[in-house]
Amino acid sequence: MHTLGDFLRARREQLSPQQAGLPAGRRRRVPGLRREEVAHLAGISPEYYLRLEQGRNQHPSDQILESLAAALQLDDDAVAYLHRLAHPTPPARRRRPPLSDGPSRPPAPARRLAPHTRLCSGDSRPRRRRQPPGCGLVSVLRRGE
């Protein structure tokens, strides 16, 4: 049970209508409260509660969570768990190494190509002659230097 919806569903199934203060009513196909009953007790719409259980709304407000906790009669530990499921802490960001103060050198492949790049500025040439066969960069790439 890892998601908010799984937790809500499990807790709903553990609570009987009598425990929630509701009349037993007619025969039930599954144990526990119906979704509509939980929504009514929490003061939210049945559609919204359904979206929470189905995982289509993963970030309900704290007020909604407290209403659900009261409706499901959760203890303090379960309320804290409910809040952690709804609002997980983001993973720690990886720290980048500090930038050096001095000038940086480009990687070796870029240094090998740098002398040839001026020979290939084809923007001023007609379209059919943009990259002629003798272009320095093209020949370096073809040879694999």
Question: What pLDDT, on the 0 to 100 scale, is given for residue 41?
Answer: 94
Residue 36: strand, helix, or coil: helix
Residue 72 CA from chain centroid, whole number: 27
What is the residue extent of each domain of the chain?
Answer: 4-86, 108-143
CB 40 within 8 A of CB 115: no
pLDDT at 103: 65
DSSP 61: -
**Plot region of 67 (φ>0 → left; ψ -120 to 50 → alpha; else → beta):** alpha
Q: Indicate the CATH number of 4-86 among 3.40.605.10, 2.60.40.60, 3.40.50.200, 1.10.260.40.
A: 1.10.260.40
pLDDT tens-digit profile, the chain (145 residues): 458 999 999 999 999 888 888 887 777 777 889 999 999 999 999 999 999 999 888 789 999 999 999 999 999 999 999 999 998 887 777 777 666 666 677 777 777 776 666 555 555 555 555 555 555 555 556 665 5
Length of the chain measured in residues: 145
> Residue 99, class by beta-carbon neighbours within 10 Å (0-12 exposed, 13-18 middle, 19+ buried)?
exposed
The pTM for the full model equals 0.59
pLDDT of residue 40: 94
Residues 6+ apart with CB under 8 A from 70: 41, 42
Residues 6+ apart with CB under 8 A from 91: none
